[in-house]
Structure formats: C-alpha cells, structure tokens
C-alpha cells in the first residue's frame, strides 16, 4: 500500500471548465483536512494545476495537448456517436492504470470532471465515483421535460414537441458513445454503461446549480432513484450549488488596458470549439457599436486583434465578467455560471444537449438569449447581442441570479457531499 489518498480528484485536462472545477473542489476538500490527491492523464490545461499550487500525479500514458484535443473532438455531443471517445486499447490502458493507482493509494472515492475512463476503473478498484460534468443534464430534467429541442442544424425541421421528446426521452436512453466502454467492461469483468444518460453520471452526480434556476426542488432531486435498465442502480443526485473557475492566472496587461477604455464590451468565451467558429462569432459582433474581447485559449486568433477586438489567452473569467456588458458563450456550465455570478447577461450558442439546457435555464430566468450554433456568423447573432445590450431587463435578471449564487458555497457543498460519501465507504 502506498501513501493513502482516500479521495482522488481527477480532471480531464483537455477541458478548461473541468480542470477549473476540479481545482475548486480539491481546494474545498483540502480546507477541510481531507486526505485528497489530484491525478490526471495530462492535457492542454494541465499547467493550471501547477499554477494553482496543487501537486498531482500522472496516471497512465501522459496525454499530450494534441491528443487531449483529439479526445475532446470525439467527446459526447461532438464526435461520431458510433465511437467511444477512446480506442478500446487506449481506454483499457487508462482503466487498468487508474484502478491500480486507486488500489495502491487506498482510494475510497474518485471525483472526476469528464475523465470517463473512471466509469470503469472505479468499478475495477471498488471505489465510489462522484461526477459533476453532467451539470443539469440529469434524469430529473428529462422526467420534467426541461431539456429544449436540439439546436443543431438538422433539428430545425422537427416540430417542437418532437424535438423536445427527442431531447428528453430518446437521446438519454440511446447507447451513443457506449459501445467501446461496454466492450472493455466485459473484458475486465465489471459493470458496463447502459445508456448515454448513464455515461455521464457517477454513483453520486452533483448538480452544480441552485433549485431556483434549475426548477427542481432539492427534496425531489435527492429522492430520485434509478428505475428500469437505463441507469446504474447506485446513481444518486444532489445539489452542490454553482461551481465555476477562479483561475490563478494573471490578467494580461493588454487585456486590462482594453477593458479600461470607455464603451460597452462583449466577451467571447468559447474554449472547446474550432477557431473557425470563434471567428464567425466575432464577425457577427463587429457591426455593433462595441469592443470585443476574445478568450483565445489554445487557438491562434491573433489576427483578429485590432482597434475593436482584443485577443487574450486563458483569462481569469471571474475577473473579466464583472467588467463586460455581455458574454457570448457556447453555453458550457462554467462560462454560463461565471457570467451570471457576475450579474452579466449572455447569448448562448449551444453545441450539444447539456449546453442547450444550460442556456435554456438562463433564458428562462430572463438573463440570456439562445442562438442556434449554425447561425453563429449571421445577423441573427448580431440582433440577439444588440437586444441583450439594449434592454436593461437582461442585466437585472442576471443580477437576481448573481444574488442567489452569492448565498451558496458550491465548492464547499460539493466537498461535504464527497466527504459524506467517503465516510460510508469501506477501504479498498
């Protein structure tokens, strides 16, 4: 037995959002004196772990930024539904390495941000799995019909009720992306993954939202139990409250100077898509009388910079959002919550079902407008952004959500839920 780490926090460092949320949960666990360790395969945003002062282990083959970007491109909602994000041999290698790591360190609970190989490795090692990356895309939403009709281009021909049925009843029950996980599970003799809805849920799935925004009472959410064959029988749901990044990265001086200039600013924060998509967003915003700040992250977008537009890298969005008038995002939970926590309204262009729901919830609160992603470079986005900037009701609604979030310690609640689960687990 090596050094004991009863809790292992394991982000997928191909995602800025998942890396940052795992940092928040790790910090909250450490503040409570938990026996906790950070581990990862590596990836694009791995340096943020060191920047946060967190020691971590690499488990399995060290994933390069290039390989992590390929994994992101194949992920749920983006890649071909017939594949399983990883080739079978790579998946098995990571599952075996993770299980050995968990056994060596006496790990009782694993907390992950989209490292989906933990769906199998925790079963192999006998550890519990906690997830948060499903966000509000959980059974309590499906059963209430909260997920809107899909926004991808082909879905525009579907009647509204058909699209909503597809989003809430059909899609979560499919076995999209699951085949490789089930082949590897059968080879290793562990429980497989019965559906797409189950693929993103651990034994405990944290819902990083507040009931007033999600629309499901806490008692009802926590009373939910799996039925039928579409979920693992151990899955439970629990609110944590908002989880979003407070990155320990400096504000670049050229960005600070850009924000100090007078006039409205639109912040384009779309980090897990193609440079072409970001360019289309910026082009549609240029006709407005605004300045545009672009979170460039891993993309080479420097040619967009001019008197009207400024390009940064990985930016501390929790410091940027309070200083801008509008956020334009794909609708990931992290960027939506960072905007609303600052009282900043947004326009969302969701790329998959979870983002559809995040934007729909913000829109229902009156703090956002949704634009179909295939209209990213059109005057539909121009008009939507102009309307949110012009109508004070959007900022007022975002301010109301900001006040709700301010009363909740999301990372602390997540840490307490993890500790409670861990206390009831037998040692591996």
Helix axis angle, 16-31 to 333-341, nearest 10°: 60
Helix axis angle, 118-125 to 179-188, nearest 10°: 20
Closest listed residue to residue 362, CA positions, set 376, 377, 348, 382? 348
Residue 298 burial by Cβ neighbours in a 10 Å radius (0-12, 13-18, 19+)? middle
Token pair recorded at residue 80: 């071909």
User: With b meaning 16 or more CB within 10 Å and e meaning fewer, what string describes 211-220?
Assistant: bebbebeeee
Counted residue by residue, the chain has a size of: 428
Q: What is the tens place of the pLDDT at every residue in 125-182?
A: 999 999 999 999 999 999 999 999 888 776 777 777 898 999 999 999 999 999 999 9
H helix or E strand, kind and range, residue 347? strand 346-348
pLDDT tens, position by position, for the chain (428 residues)? 456 679 999 999 999 899 999 999 999 999 999 999 999 999 999 999 999 999 999 999 999 999 999 999 999 988 999 999 999 999 999 999 999 999 999 999 999 999 999 999 999 999 999 999 999 999 999 999 999 988 877 677 777 789 899 999 999 999 999 999 999 999 999 999 999 999 999 999 999 999 999 999 999 999 999 998 999 999 999 999 999 989 888 999 999 999 999 999 999 999 777 889 999 999 999 999 999 999 976 667 888 999 999 999 889 999 999 999 999 999 999 999 999 999 999 999 999 899 999 999 999 999 999 999 999 999 999 999 999 999 999 999 999 999 999 999 999 999 999 999 999 876 65
Token pair recorded at residue 10: 């394991």
Report the predicted TM-score, pTM, of the whole model to 2 decimal places: 0.92
């Amino acid at each position: 037995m090596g050094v004991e780490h009863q809790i292992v926090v394991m982000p997928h460092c191909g995602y800025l959002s998942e890396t940052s949320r795992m940092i928040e949960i790790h910090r909250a666990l450490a503040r409570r004196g938990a026996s906790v360790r950070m581990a990862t395969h590596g990836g694009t945003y791995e340096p943020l772990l060191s920047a946060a002062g967190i020691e971590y282990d690499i488990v399995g083959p060290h994933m390069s930024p290039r390989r992590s970007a390929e994994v992101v491109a194949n992920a749920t909602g983006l890649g071909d539904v017939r594949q399983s994000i990883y080739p079978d041999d790579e998946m098995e290698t990571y599952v075996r390495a993770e299980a050995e790591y968990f056994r060596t360190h006496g790990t009782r609970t694993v907390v992950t941000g989209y490292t989906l190989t933990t769906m199998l490795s925790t079963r192999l090692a006998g550890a519990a799995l906690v997830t948060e990356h499903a966000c509000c895309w959980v059974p309590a939403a499906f059963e209430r019909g909260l997920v809107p009709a899909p926004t991808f281009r082909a879905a525009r021909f579907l009647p509204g009720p058909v699209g909503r049925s597809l989003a809430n009843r059909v899609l979560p029950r499919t076995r999209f992306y699951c085949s490789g996980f089930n082949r590897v599970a059968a080879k290793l003799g562990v429980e497989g993954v019965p559906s797409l809805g189950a693929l993103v849920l651990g034994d405990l799935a944290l819902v990083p939202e507040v009931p007033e925004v999600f629309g499901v009472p806490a008692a009802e959410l926590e009373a939910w139990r799996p039925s039928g064959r579409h979920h693992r029988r151990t899955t439970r749901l629990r609110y944590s409250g908002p989880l979003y990044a407070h990155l320990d990265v400096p504000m670049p001086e050229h960005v600070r100077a850009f924000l100090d200039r007078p006039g409205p600013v639109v912040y384009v924060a779309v980090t897990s898509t193609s440079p072409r998509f970001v360019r289309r967003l910026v082009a549609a915003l240029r006709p407005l009388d605004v300045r545009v700040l672009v979170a460039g992250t891993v993309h080479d977008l420097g040619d967009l910079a001019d008197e009207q537009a400024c390009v940064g890298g990985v930016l501390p969005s929790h410091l940027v959002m309070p200083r801008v008038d509008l956020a334009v995002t794909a609708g990931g939970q992290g960027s939506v919550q960072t905007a609303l926590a600052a009282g900043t309204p947004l326009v969302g262009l969701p790329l998959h079902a979870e983002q559809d729901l995040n934007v729909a919830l913000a829109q229902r609160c009156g703090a956002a407008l949704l634009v179909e992603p295939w209209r990213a470079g059109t005057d539909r986005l121009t008009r939507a952004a102009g309307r949110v900037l012009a109508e004070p009701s959007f900022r007022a609604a975002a301010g109301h959500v900001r006040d709700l979030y301010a009363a909740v310690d999301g990372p602390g609640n997540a840490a307490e839920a993890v500790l409670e689960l861990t206390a009831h687990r037998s040692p591996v």
